[in-house]
Structure formats: structure tokens, C-alpha cells
Structure 1
Amino acid sequence: MEFSDLVTITQGSLPLMNPVSPEKVIAVGRAAGLSSSDLVIECGCGNGTLLSLWGEKFGISGTGIEVRRQACEQAEKTIRDKGLADRITIRCDDAATFVPESPADCAVALGASFIWGGFADALDALRGMVHKKGKVVIGDRYWRSDRVPPDFAREWPDVCTGYEQIRLAREAGFDCTYLVRASEEDWDRYETGIWQACAGWIEKNPEHPDREEVLEYLHHIQDEYAGYGQEHIGWIMYLLEPAIEV
């Protein structure tokens, strides 16, 4: 099974495909000072929930980039149902090669740094999408400490500690001005949402040739979360602004 198909099965029904709540997404938008004059680009926009939340709350305009066709269709429906289609568009495209027609006021990537190969490269890509005073919002996994069991750490070679992420942001020309972390409740809601999606798909597709693969994936992520993930991996969303000059 293609990875994109597995993502659609496991997370396609989740409004926010990361361990974060609508309230926290809105809090970051408020901290960024978003308004109706702001243009936002979201890479890996999933089902369009962040853009719709910011469109409703702050009146932003924007573009969502998403490579999975089914997610694009859902995002378009989300935007349309919220009455935001005149201000927010969805492009079914690869964010890794996307070049905006004009610089944005804010570029966003939540749980999508893998598109560019990691956190540092994601920062470089997002910086290239905003104007000189533009802001970046990036959400990603992080190690809670630097004492992670080696067997588990090897499963996630691109994950950094929070300290390393802050340093990488500075090296990319940003200062962090606000952040929110996933709570245990956020993580449990996200992880068990994936488990329910897997179980539901397996039940509805008893003859599917990939049924066993999805079941193996379900058991793997359950073992991973119960054995290591709850203790060692966090998720954090940063608001990054151009480096403060002295």
C-alpha cells in the first residue's frame, strides 16, 4: 500500500491531522496578530481545518497546498461549507516544489516537515514563501529529552529535541515568539482517532488485499505509543518571526 493511501485511511477522517486542538490553532493565530489583510499559505493543509478556522476567526485569505487528491476534495468542501471559497483556495500539488506567485504574510506547516526532509529544510522552504517581515508557524514532533532508548530513536531519525528546534529556527533567521504543546489529552485523542479509523476500515473491507497490512500497522503504532511514544515524544507548534535586531 502506498504511504499516501495509508495516511488517507488512518487520518483522513480527522479534522486536524495532528495532536492539537482548534483552540490552540486559534491561539497561535491570535498570537501572530492575523487579520483580514493577511495572506496565509499552508503546506500539507490536510482537510483544510486550520485555514477554515483562521478564515472564520481572523478573516485571512490564503492557499492550502495538499498532494493527496481525497484530502484536497475534503479541504475544498470544508472551505466551501464555511463560506470561505472566495478568500481561500486549495491547490492539489506537491508543496516541495510549490512556488507562490507573491510572498505571503504567514507560511504554515503542521506535521509536514517531512515534505522537505526535516525541520531545518522545512524552515528554509517556509521562509522562502513569506516576505521580509513574514511569519512562520511550524508544528512538529520533538524528543522530550535527549535520553531516548536507541531502538526507538532509530525509528525517528529526523526528530529533534525542542532545544535543537529553537536553535535551528535561529540559524534560519527567526526568533520564537510563541508556542503551544500537545497535552496528554491531545495526544490520546489523536492517536486513538487513528486507531478507530484503522479498525473501522478493516471491518468495512474484509476482503481487501491490504487488510492485513493495515492491521499490522494498527498494532505497530499501538505498541509504539504505549511502549515509548507517550513518554518520549511530544508535539509542539511554534510561531516564528524574523530575528530580532539589536
Structure 2
Amino acid sequence: MAPAATVPAVDLPRSFSIRESSHRVLNPFTPEKLATLGAALRLPPGTRVLDLACGKGELLCTWARDHGVTGVGVDISTAFLDAARARAAELRVADLVGFVHADATGYVPDEPVDVAACLGATWIGGGTAGTVELLERGLRPGGTVLVGERYWRQHPPDQEAVEGSYARDVGDLASLPELVEGFGDRGWDLVEMVLADQDSWDRYVAAQWLNIRRFLDAHPDDELAGELRAELSSAPLRHVRYQREYVGWGVFALMRR
């Protein structure tokens, strides 16, 4: 049963719901890769999972269906949580998973969990290291942390490529070896990983363009129309020129040494 909600004072901007209206997985991970990760972890039925910044709850819902896990997802977006609850009902796992409207920053469950996850929202802990520390607070001894994070696939040649990849500075992201080395330096064993590829990025990002276009066609006078039109005009080229070439993304399973 989900703990009582700690209702945050703010919600995600409406543009997020528009941009990702057709998505079930809210990061550059295809449903197949999410399923691969769940199978790779070999989770026994009854595994307790906490998913911080859970989005539409696809991890919890599909893993409850496929592996019998139980758990709680936490997110600040009411629209995403509505979708998560609907998905749980659709997959008939609403008795196994619950969702809490709360700020995932600093959220710790009442009871320790077997798996604590944050896939692609490491801003909740101020970066990779801080998010892993946050997840560990709710983890039972011997449990597993799952963290989804970006990294440089290739070293960007200049500041234009850095900013085109949605980073402020080259130091905002590590290379994949640097990221893995950092886990070890902080006392964690990397025990599994599933990495996105360029097609994963395309499926995530390109679907946003169609969502935006259909919204603009249906709501040409919406207050967000100008902002979203500007995004649609620039985002495809930015993606193929920079993000697709230079940025990787993956989920890393960690266990404390």
C-alpha cells in the first residue's frame, strides 16, 4: 500500500505533458530495453521497488506484471501519475503498485526496499553521486540501486556541440568509463547495465516532435503555441547534429561493496 502523499507546491510545466503525451517510457529507453533490464536483474516475486521520479510508472507496472514485484512510484507530475495509475489498472497490477504525488528530492520510504531506482532524473540528488546517495537511504542492506544517466558517447569538439547536447559545460557529463569508474570510487559494484542506443534516442525524441505538431494543429491559439513551434523548428536538427552523436544514456545497477 502506498504511503500518504506529500503534495508538492508545484507541478511540472504543461509543456512536459504535451511533449511526452504518447510516451510510456519517459527517457531514451525503449520498452524492449526496459524489459531487458527487468529480466537481467532476475527479480524474485515480491521484490519491493521504489521508483523516484517515476513518470508514467512503466517500470513498476510492467515489472509487476512480468516479475511480480511490488512497489511505489513518486513523481511531481499529476498528469504522469494519472497515466501511471491508469496503466496499473490496464495491466491489472494496481494491487501491487502505488503512486505518490510528491517531490522525489529527499523522498525516503517508510520501510527499506530491495531496489531503489531513479531513471533519468538525477537532478533530484544534484547529480549522479547525490542521487545514488539519496536512493541508498531507502535501500535495505544488500539491495540494488538503479540509476539512469547520460554520458558522453564522443567527446564534444567545441562549446557549440556541448550546448547543442543540452549541457552547459563539457564537465556536466562524464564519459562512460569515467561514470563507471566513479561508481567504484564511491564503493559500489556495477552488477548490470543496459545502455540506450541511437535508435532509442530517436524513438524518444522524434516521438516528441509528432506530439508537438499534433498539439499545435489542434490548439493553434494555445498560450504555449509560440514556444512549442520554436522548439519543433529547431529540435530535429539539434538532435541529429549533436545529441544523437555525442550523448549516450544507460541504466546502471549498483550494489554496495
TM-score normalised to structure 2 length: 0.88
Alpha-carbon separation, structure 2, partners of 1:99 and 1:178 = 24
2:158 to 145, 149, 153: 149
CA distance, structure 2, for counterparts of residue 149 and residue 118 of structure 1 = 23
1:175 maps onto 2:189 in alignment: yes
Residue 28 of structure 1 aligns to which amino acid in structure 2? L
- CA RMSD in angstroms comes to 1.7
Deviation at 1:82, TM superposition (A): 1.1
Q: Deviations over 1:141-186 (max 9, x none)?
A: 1101334422232441432211222122223321111212112221
Q: Partner residue of 1:102?
A: 111
- Aligned counterparts of 2:231 and 2:203: Cα–Cα separation in 1: 18
Residues 32-71 of structure 1 aligned to structure 2 (within 5 Å)? 32-71=41-80
State whether structure 2 residue 203 is matched by structure 1 residue 189: yes
| 1:240 paired to 2:249 | no
User: In the alignment, is the contact (CA less than 8 A) between 1:123 and 1:172 conserved in 2?
Assistant: no
Name which of 12, 26, 31 aligns with 1:17.
26
Shift of 1:118: 1.4
Any unmatched runs of 5+ in structure 1?
none
Aligned to 1:213: 227
Instruction: Give runs of ≥4 in structure 1 deviating > 3 Å.
Output: none
**1:113 positional shift:** 0.8
CA distance in 1, matches of 2:110, 2:185: 26
Count residues with an aligned counterpart: 242
In 1: Cα distance, 2:13 partner to 2:189 partner: 33
Q: How does 1:88-127 map to 2 (within 5 A)?
A: 88-127=97-136
Q: Which residue of 1 aligns with 2:4?
A: none
* Contact 2:12–2:76 (Cα < 8 Å) also in 1: no
Instruction: For 2:19 and 2:136, locate their aligned partners in 1 and report how far apart those are by CA, in whole Å.
Output: 30
Q: 1:124–1:172: 8 Å Cα contact kept in structure 2?
A: no
Could you tell me which runs of 5 or more consecutive residues in structure 2 were left unpaired when the two chains were aligned: 1-10
Change beyond 3 A, Cα 1:227–1:147: closer
What's the secondary structure of 2:19's corresponding residue?
Answer: helix
The 2-side partners of 1:148 and 1:7 are apart by 30
- Counting aligned pairs with the same residue, the percent is 26
